[in-house]
């Protein structure tokens, strides 16, 4: 972990002053991924990931004994939280427990040391708490939905965002689906942004009720894709681009070029362990220009 860049990739690997206890602890026992292995993964993607996790309230899925042990979804700092992990009061809940925020690579390394195996940011920064800077649409396929249909749904969302004058980017969830993410100029508030996301989901379900639903009822999902717009309320989260998932396989949520969507790339295709060939094959950051493409929420 404390080493100079030995990769051939253009970006130098960042260094950390965080101390790792038990670097050989297995976080994903069946995949042989250790704490040190996860730290090395994040060192490689830090330059791409940072804008999506720095200076945002974070919820963490912590698994101190690895993915086969207990899981805790945590929004608040805990006793003995590493000093590299910041604590910040929610301006709307000043008397409540603080929230978790990181500001640098040491912060991410402290999350690794703390067995935070999933990182789930808000869709707003702590510079602009009340004004989201992205919309996340989470495509949740029910049983009997093909991967081509999930891709089709993502392309349909892209079209709808673009028709509304907004840009759209896509990533694998690292689980079962895709996330379509649209950058916003932080101007509209949470209520308006969530209402916009809901209206988009509802109109897709209305236009093609055989394929899409906009309500989370599990029993109605069979054969359909739930357009989960519920990531977009104040305090709601979605897994970060490049975050690992606390599931077998050590998959990550991987930003893609739209042209990469295909049957060849399943939602859990990219993992902590196959990142090096991914990075060397990438010509560009697939989400290059994300924040530059931001537009205000349309009226």
Residues making contact with ligand ATP (CB under 6 A): 73, 120, 138, 140, 173, 175-177, 237-239, 267
End-to-end distance of the chain based on CA atoms, in angstroms?
A: 48
Answer with the entry of ligand ATP, Mn ion, none that 238 interacts with (C-beta below 5 to 8 A by kind). Answer: ligand ATP
Helices assigned H by DSSP within 24-166: 35-53, 105-113, 147-163
**Least distance CB 122 / Mn ion (angstroms):** 16
**Least distance CB 230 / ligand ATP (angstroms):** 8
55 binds Mn ion (CB under 5 A): no
Instruction: Report how far apart, in Å, the C-alpha atoms of 167 and of each of 51, 162, 170, 173, 289 are.
Output: 17, 6, 10, 19, 10
Strands 225-228 and 212-213: parallel
Is the CB of 73 or the CB of 291 nearer to ligand ATP? 73
Is the CB of 144 or the CB of 165 nearer to ligand ATP? 144
Distance of alpha carbon 203 from alpha carbon 160, whole angstroms = 10
Residue whose beta carbon is closest to ligand ATP: 175
Answer with the entry of ligand ATP, Mn ion, none that 120 interacts with (C-beta below 5 to 8 A by kind). Answer: ligand ATP
Bridge partner residues of 252 (DSSP): 244
The residue behind tokens 């090395």 is 40
Is the CB of 107 or the CB of 267 nearer to ligand ATP? 267
Is the CB of 138 or the CB of 156 nearer to ligand ATP? 138
**Least distance CB 47 / ligand ATP (angstroms):** 23
Q: Under DSSP, is residue 136 helix (H, G, I), strand (E, B) or coil? A: strand
Answer with the entry of Mn ion, ligand ATP, none that 268 interacts with (C-beta below 5 to 8 A by kind). Answer: none
b or e along 176-204 (b: 16 or more beta carbons within 10 Å of the residue's beta carbon)?
A: bbbbbbbbbebebebeebbebbbebbbeb
Please name the residues in contact with 159: beta carbons below 8 A apart, sequence gap of 6 or more: none
Per-residue contact flags (x/-) with Mn ion for residues 120 to 149, judged by CB under 5 A: ------------------x-x---------
**Least distance CB 235 / ligand ATP (angstroms):** 9
The C-alpha angle with vertex 24 and arms to 53 and 120, in degrees rounded to 5, equals 20
Is the CB of 17 or the CB of 72 nearer to ligand ATP? 72
CB 155 within 8 A of CB 261: yes
**Least distance CB 87 / Mn ion (angstroms):** 28
**Least distance CB 232 / ligand ATP (angstroms):** 11
Answer with the entry of ligand ATP, Mn ion, none that 239 interacts with (C-beta below 5 to 8 A by kind). Answer: ligand ATP
**Least distance CB 267 / ligand ATP (angstroms):** 6
40 binds Mn ion (CB under 5 A): no
- How many CB atoms lie under 10 A from the CB of residue 136? 22
Which one of the spans 52-60, 160-168, 223-231, 250-258 is the region binding Mn ion (CB under 5 A)? 223-231
Distance of alpha carbon 128 from alpha carbon 187, whole angstroms = 9
Residues of this chain that interact with Mn ion (CB under 5 A) are: 138, 140, 173, 177, 228
């Amino acid at each position: 972990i404390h080493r100079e860049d030995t990769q051939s990739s253009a970006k130098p690997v960042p260094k950390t002053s965080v101390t790792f206890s038990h670097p050989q602890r297995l976080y994903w026992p069946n995949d042989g991924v250790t704490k040190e292995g996860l730290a090395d993964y994040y060192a490689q993607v830090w330059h791409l990931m940072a804008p999506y996790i720095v200076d945002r309230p974070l919820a963490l899925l912590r698994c101190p004994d690895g993915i086969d042990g207990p899981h805790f979804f945590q929004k608040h700092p805990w006793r003995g939280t590493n000093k590299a992990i910041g604590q910040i009061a929610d301006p709307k809940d000043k008397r409540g427990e603080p929230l978790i925020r990181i500001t640098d690579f040491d912060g991410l390394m402290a999350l690794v040391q703390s067995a935070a195996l999933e990182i789930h940011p808000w869709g707003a920064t702590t510079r602009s708490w009340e004004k989201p800077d992205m919309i996340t649409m989470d495509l949740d396929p029910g049983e009997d939905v093909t991967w081509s249909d999930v891709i089709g749904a993502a392309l349909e969302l892209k079209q709808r965002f673009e028709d509304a004058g907004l840009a759209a980017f896509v990533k694998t969830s690292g689980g079962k689906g895709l996330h379509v993410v649209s950058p916003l100029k932080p101007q509209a508030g949470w209520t308006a942004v969530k209402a916009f996301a809901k209206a988009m989901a509802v109109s897709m379900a209305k236009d093609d009720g055989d394929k899409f639903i906009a309500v989370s009822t599990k029993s109605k999902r069979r054969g359909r894709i739930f357009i989960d717009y519920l990531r977009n309320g104040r305090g709601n989260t979605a897994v970060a681009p490049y975050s690992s998932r606390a599931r077998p396989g050590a998959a990550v949520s991987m930003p893609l070029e739209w042209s990469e969507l295909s049957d060849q790339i399943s939602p859990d295709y990219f993992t902590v362990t196959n990142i090096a060939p991914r990075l060397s094959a990438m010509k560009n950051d697939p989400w290059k220009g994300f924040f530059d493409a931001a537009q205000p929420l349309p009226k």
